[in-house]
């Protein structure tokens, strides 16, 4: 009967007897496992962050934009020529779509460089938007201090501003910015409130670094900027019906023919997550392909070193056969050694991947790295499988040695 514990101990003894050779043999496996787990941890962390952020903005909301929201690569010339959505479109959706509860919007500068300053400090990497007074009622963001602007302040184009948590900290470090002034395009604006810090850090620029002013104030400052994103809140349980109503209305208003595709984009948090999953799956496949090269190199190295080991231990194999070891015993001995060798490489790859993920989180706090358990299990399983696959030939070669010739081997 095969003693698996004895085979494992023999394999570990042989690895310890040739530490440096074993390390060089499994280096490719270590790199392959390290690459897969680190990339998987970053992608998983990014996905969790984006999902959390989308939940902050409301899972029952529908987003309408004249361009594709999730675009990979350059946009076509035909898409870039599309007309932006308008305030009249937003009002028509609210008035003519029974399944829609309310509508808000964001106007963003497309070609204008925005200069925001306070106390001589310039704010960089901010997101500047103009929104109506009902914005917080639809987008699930909350104020940490102060208040949001009113409909009257929007109608009278008042110079007031709401700051994201990071924007407030950057311009007023350690101080309460409410009531203080910032300069936007050299015009003074009074800070009314500060938004709560988002739950996640990866896409914090969407809310934490945002600078919000009233919609009509925005249009007064930059009447040429017309790019608008509509955020539409559906009635509870009627989001799918609201999507159909909005699509039919916008197709009619934008004169889209029956056989023509939409010249606008409607999306929801669920669709954005699905598109994100397809992108991350593609990146994951590329990572697997890259790591596969390392695993292949490691597997070939294991096969080579096991063939060398068979040659070096020919007399040992002869002795084992002489005292009663069967071909199956010899095969299992060398297979265990190959799988133990690659398994140890897999363990080191996992440990280094975990260390690398924590280093990434420490050096780049805005880039999350959540290590998924499936990646760890898959990494260890694949590393052992590589030893099994590439160890078969050396194990069979060892088992087929003639015991008499093996004992004579010098």
The three state secondary structure string of 73-142 is CCCCHHHHCCCCCCHHHHHHHHHHCCCEEEEEEEECCCCCCCCEEECCEECCCCEEEEECCCHHHHCCCC
| pLDDT at residue 367, as a whole number | 65
| For residue 202, pLDDT beyond 50 | no
pLDDT band at 245 (very low <50, low <70, confident <90, very high): very high
- Residue 297, SS3 per DSSP: helix
**Between 136 and 408, whose confidence is greater?**
136
Q: What is the mean pLDDT of residues 329-339?
A: 81
Q: What is the mean pLDDT of residues 209-234?
A: 91
| pLDDT at residue 215, as a whole number | 95
Q: What is the mean pLDDT of residues 218-222?
A: 92
Cα separations in angstroms, 197 against 83, 182, 210, 362: 34, 20, 11, 19
Put simply, whether the predicted model's pTM sits higher than 0.75 gets the answer no
Determine contact, residues 145/194, Cβ cutoff 8 Å. yes
| For residue 204, pLDDT beyond 50 | no
| pLDDT at residue 4, as a whole number | 61
| pLDDT at residue 151, as a whole number | 94
| pLDDT at residue 93, as a whole number | 94
| For residue 344, pLDDT beyond 80 | yes
Q: What is the mean pLDDT of residues 218-243?
A: 90
Q: What is the mean pLDDT of the chain?
A: 82
| For residue 191, pLDDT beyond 90 | yes
Determine contact, residues 111/80, Cβ cutoff 8 Å. no
pLDDT band at 58 (very low <50, low <70, confident <90, very high): low
Q: Which of 172-186, 203-217, 311-325, 382-396 has the lowest mean pLDDT?
A: 311-325
Cα separations in angstroms, 12 against 2, 337, 344, 391: 17, 7, 9, 16
> Residue 28 is encoded by which pair of tokens?
């490719």
pLDDT band at 203 (very low <50, low <70, confident <90, very high): very low
Q: What is the mean pLDDT of residues 383-390?
A: 86
pLDDT band at 237 (very low <50, low <70, confident <90, very high): confident
| For residue 1, pLDDT beyond 50 | no
Task: Express as a percent the part of the chain with pLDDT over 90.
Answer: 24
Q: What is the mean pLDDT of residues 62-81?
A: 76
């Amino acid at each position: 009967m095969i003693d698996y514990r004895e085979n494992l101990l023999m394999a570990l003894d042989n690895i310890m007897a040739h530490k440096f050779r074993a390390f060089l043999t499994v280096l490719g496996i270590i790199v392959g496992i390290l690459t897969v787990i680190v990339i998987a941890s970053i992608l998983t962390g990014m996905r969790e962050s984006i999902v959390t952020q989308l939940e902050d903005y409301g899972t029952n909301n529908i987003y309408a934009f004249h361009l594709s929201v999730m675009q990979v690569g350059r946009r076509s010339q035909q898409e870039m020529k599309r007309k932006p959505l308008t305030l009249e479109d937003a009002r028509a959706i609210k008035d003519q779509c029974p399944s829609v509860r309310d509508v808000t919007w964001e106007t963003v500068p497309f070609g204008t460089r925005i200069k925001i300053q306070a106390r001589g400090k310039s704010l960089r990497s901010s997101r500047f938007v103009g929104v109506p007074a009902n914005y917080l009622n639809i987008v699930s963001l909350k104020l940490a201090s102060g208040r949001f602007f009113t409909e009257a302040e929007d109608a009278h184009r008042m110079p007031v501003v709401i700051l994201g948590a990071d924007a407030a900290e950057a311009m007023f470090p350690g101080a309460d910015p409410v009531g203080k002034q910032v300069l936007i395009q050299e015009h003074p604006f009074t800070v009314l409130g500060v938004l709560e810090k988002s739950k996640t850090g990866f896409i914090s620029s969407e809310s934490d670094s945002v600078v919000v002013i009233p919609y009509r104030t925005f249009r007064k400052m930059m009447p040429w900027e017309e790019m608008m994103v509509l955020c539409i809140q559906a009635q509870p349980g009627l989001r799918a019906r609201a999507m159909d109503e909005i699509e039919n209305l916008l197709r009619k208003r934008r004169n889209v023919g029956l056989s023509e595709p939409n010249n606008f984009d409607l999306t929801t948090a669920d669709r954005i997550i699905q598109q994100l999953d397809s992108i991350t799956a593609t990146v994951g496949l590329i990572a697997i392909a890259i790591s596969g090269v390392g695993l292949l190199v490691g597997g070939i190295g294991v096969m080579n070193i096991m063939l060398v080991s068979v040659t070096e231990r020919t007399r040992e194999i002869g002795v084992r056969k002489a005292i009663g070891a069967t071909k199956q015993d010899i095969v299992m001995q060398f297979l265990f050694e190959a799988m133990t060798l690659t398994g140890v490489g897999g363990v080191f790859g996992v440990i280094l991947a975990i260390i690398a993920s924590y280093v990434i989180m420490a050096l780049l706090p805005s880039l999350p790295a959540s290590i998924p358990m499936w990646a760890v299990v898959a990494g260890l399983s694949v590393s052992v499988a590589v030893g099994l696959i590439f160890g078969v030939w050396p194990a069979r070669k060892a088992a087929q040695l003639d015991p008499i010739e093996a004992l004579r081997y010098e």
